[in-house]
Amino acid sequence: MENGLNERLIVPKILQESKNIWRVALPGVISRVGSFGTIVATQSFIGHISPLDLAGYALVQTITVRFVNGILLGMSSATETLCGQAFGAGQYHMMGIYLQRSWIVDLITLTILLPVFIFGSQLFMLLGQEESIAKRGGYISLWFIPFVYNFDFSLTIHMYLQAQLKNKLIAWISVFQFILHLGVPGAMSALSISSWFLVIGEFIYIFGGWCPHSWKGFSKAAFLDILPVVKLSLSSSLMVCLELWYNAVLVLIAGYMDNAEVAISAFSIW
C-alpha cells in the first residue's frame, strides 16, 4: 500500500522535473542546431564550386574557427556560472554587469587571436598542408573574420538569457537565422549576415526592455574586477577547448594524406 502511494507521488514529480529540464534545454538545442546548420549549409554550397574551395573551407572551419570558437565558448561558460549565481542570489542587476564584462574580455581575446585568420595561408603551410589548399584556406579565412566576431556576443548572451529562463527567444531567432541563411546568395556573405541577424535580434530583446531586472544599461562597473573574470574564463576555456580540438586534429592529419583535397573534405563533412 505504501509502495503504491510512493509510486503515485514520484511519477508526477519526475514528469514535472522533466518538463522543467526541457523548458531550458529545448531552446538551447534548437539554437545550436540552427547555428550549426548555417555552417553546414555554407559548406554544401561551397562544395558545388570546386574541390579546392571545399578543402580550403573545411580547413578553416574545422581548425581555425573551431580553435577560436573553443576558446570563446569555454570563456563564455564563465558567464553562465556568474549569471546563474547572481540569478539564484537575487542579484539581478549584476547579471547585466557580468554580461558586459564578458563582452570586454572576449572581445579583447578575439582581437588577439585575429592573426590566425589574417595569416591563414602562412599558418596552414607551417602546419604542413599543401600549398594550393593552404592559399585557398587563407583567402577563405579572411571571409570568416566578420563571422567569428558574432561569437563574442551570441555565446555570452545565450548564457545570460538561459540563466533567466528567457532562452525561448534564442530558439525562434535561430530558426529565422537558418531560413535567412538559405535565402541569401553567396555562401560566405550569407554566413556572416545570418549570424549577425541572431545577435541583432538578441540586442533588440535585451535593450528593448524585456530584461528589466537584469539589464540596467551600460555601466562603468563592467570595467572593475575584470581580472577574476579573466581567470575564471581561461580555466573554463581549457576544458572545452581540449574536447573540440581533438576532432580538429583529425582534419589536420588528413592534409598529410595522398589526395589531400578529398581527404580533408571527407573528414570535415563527416
User: Has residue 255 got a pLDDT over 90?
Assistant: no
3-state secondary structure of 140: helix
3-state secondary structure of 225: coil
Which ranges in the chain belong to alpha helices (H)?
Answer: 2-47, 51-59, 66-88, 92-113, 115-118, 120-126, 131-143, 145-148, 150-162, 168-183, 187-205, 226-254, 260-269
User: Has residue 97 got a pLDDT over 90?
Assistant: yes
Q: Which pLDDT score is estimated for 15?
A: 86
- For residue 89, with 0-12 CB atoms within 10 Å meaning exposed, 13-18 middle and 19 or more buried, which class applies? exposed
3-state secondary structure of 185: coil
User: Has residue 5 got a pLDDT over 60?
Assistant: no
pTM of the model: 0.83
Q: Which residues contact 260 (CB under 8 A, 6 or more apart)?
A: 55, 129, 130, 133, 254
Q: How would residue 162 be classed by pLDDT, with cut points 50, 70 and 90?
A: confident
Q: Which pLDDT score is estimated for 139?
A: 93
Distance CA 196, CA 183 (A): 15
CA 270 to chain CA centroid, Å, is: 20
Grid coordinates representing 140 are: 577563405
Grid coordinates representing 194 are: 545570418
